[in-house]
Amino acid sequence: MEVLVDIRDVSKIYNPGENEVKALDHVSVSIREGEYVAIIGQSGSGKSTLMNILGCLDIPSDGEYYLHGKNVKDLNDNELSDIRNKEIGFVFQGFNLIANLTAFENVELPLIYRGISKTKREAFAEAALEKVGLGNRMEHKPAEMSGGQQQRVAIARAIAQAPPVILADEPTGNLDSRSTWEIMDILENLHSEGRTVILITHNNEIAVRAKRIITIRDGRIESDTGIQTDEASDDAIDQAVSVEITGEDQTVEFDAEDFTND
Ligand code: ADP
Ligand code: MG
């Protein structure tokens, strides 16, 4: 598989000067097409900063980002927004749905902005909602749905135009455990269809479902199980999660045998 994301020696400094925050500190990482990667780290470790750079929502202060072999620095605003619209499906912790629109309309809205014809829009929106199991909730507004259902609408919105890459930043952070596993199943299905899934989380239990785990701490990559075959990946992930990681809310002593990858 081809290299999709190639981040080389990237740093990100917020508020350069006296109150500067080094959110990313010389990070290098490469991700191939079709991988399912979890990026894990404590609150404040730089995960969202990294995701924003990966998704071309922000630019590095230093270092280079090659996406599909092209240096993102050399792309103009139109090319960047094209990438954000067509290549990447974004899923965030706080669903970001529009309250007075139905599930169907929420999924359809970005397609209107992208100039997709009405017939195609309707077909894409319906197919995406069916795919996340909400074929029977299309006319419901966000307030009439559970958190898990709302996040499924947000995923339908992200995948309606079949982007090859899914970037999800703490997508289950606001959900109960049942909804969490439903969302994880959907992400896994998207991966098995061949999409690249990059999942950001502070939760070990979620991270182990991925094929590769990158751990970030204080803006640096602390460990990376690497691009692996499936079996090698399971072993590497067992090792990665046997290390204790302190989350923002709790310390999780992790026993890899409690979880499986399938
Ligand atoms: P995470 O997603 O892992 O919780 P973030 O990437 O959001 O971490 O933040 C990394 C660090 O950068 C934190 O110290 C945070 O306070 C700081 N930070 C994030 N965004 C900004 C910003 N826009 N301006 C200033 N500091 C920021
Ligand atoms: Mg974050």
pLDDT per position as a tens digit, 83-127: 998 899 999 999 999 999 999 999 999 999 999 999 999 999 999
> Domain of 177: which CATH number?
3.40.50.300
Using the mean position of ligand 1's atoms as its centre, give its distance from the Cα of residue 246 in Å. Answer: 18
- List phi, psi (to 5°) of 121: -55, -50
- Number of domains composing the chain: 1
Q: How confident is the model at residue 260 (pLDDT cuts 50, 70, 90)?
A: very low
151 exposure class (CB count in 10 Å sphere: 0-12, 13-18, 19+): buried
Residue among 13, 15, 21, 93 to mutate when testing ligand 1 (max atoms within 8 A of CB): 21
Ligand 1 binding pocket includes 24 (Cβ within 6 Å):
no
Per-residue burial over 185-223, b = 16 or more CB atoms within 10 Å of its CB, e = otherwise:
ebbbebbeeebbbbbbbbbbbbbbbbbbbbbbbebbbee
Q: Whose CA is nearest to atom 7 of ligand 1?
A: 48
pLDDT per position as a tens digit, 186-209: 999 999 999 999 999 999 999 999
Which tokens belong to 91?
């899923």
Ligand 1 binding pocket includes 48 (Cβ within 6 Å):
yes
Ligand 1 binding pocket includes 21 (Cβ within 6 Å):
yes
Closest CA to 223 of 87, 94, 37: 37
Q: How confident is the model at residue 246 (pLDDT cuts 50, 70, 90)?
A: very low
CB 52 within 8 A of CB 88: no
Which tokens belong to 79?
């090319």
Provide the pLDDT for residue 229. Answer: 57
> For residues 259 and 237, what is the distance between their CA atoms, to the nearest angstrom?
11
> For residues 202 and 195, what is the distance between their CA atoms, to the nearest angstrom?
22
73 exposure class (CB count in 10 Å sphere: 0-12, 13-18, 19+): exposed
Q: Report the 10 Å Cβ neighbour count for 8.
A: 15
Using the mean position of ligand 1's atoms as its centre, give its distance from the Cα of residue 178 in Å. Answer: 29
**Residues above pLDDT 70, as percent of the chain:** 87
Task: For ligand 2, an ion, list residues with CB under 5 A.
Answer: 47-48
pLDDT per position as a tens digit, 44-75: 999 999 999 999 999 999 999 999 999 999 99
Ligand 1 binding pocket includes 46 (Cβ within 6 Å):
yes
Ligand 1 binding pocket includes 23 (Cβ within 6 Å):
yes
> For residues 218 and 222, what is the distance between their CA atoms, to the nearest angstrom?
9
Range of the domain at 205: 3-258
pLDDT per position as a tens digit, 4-59: 999 999 999 999 988 999 999 999 999 999 999 999 999 999 999 999 999 999 99
Q: Report the 10 Å Cβ neighbour count for 118.
A: 10
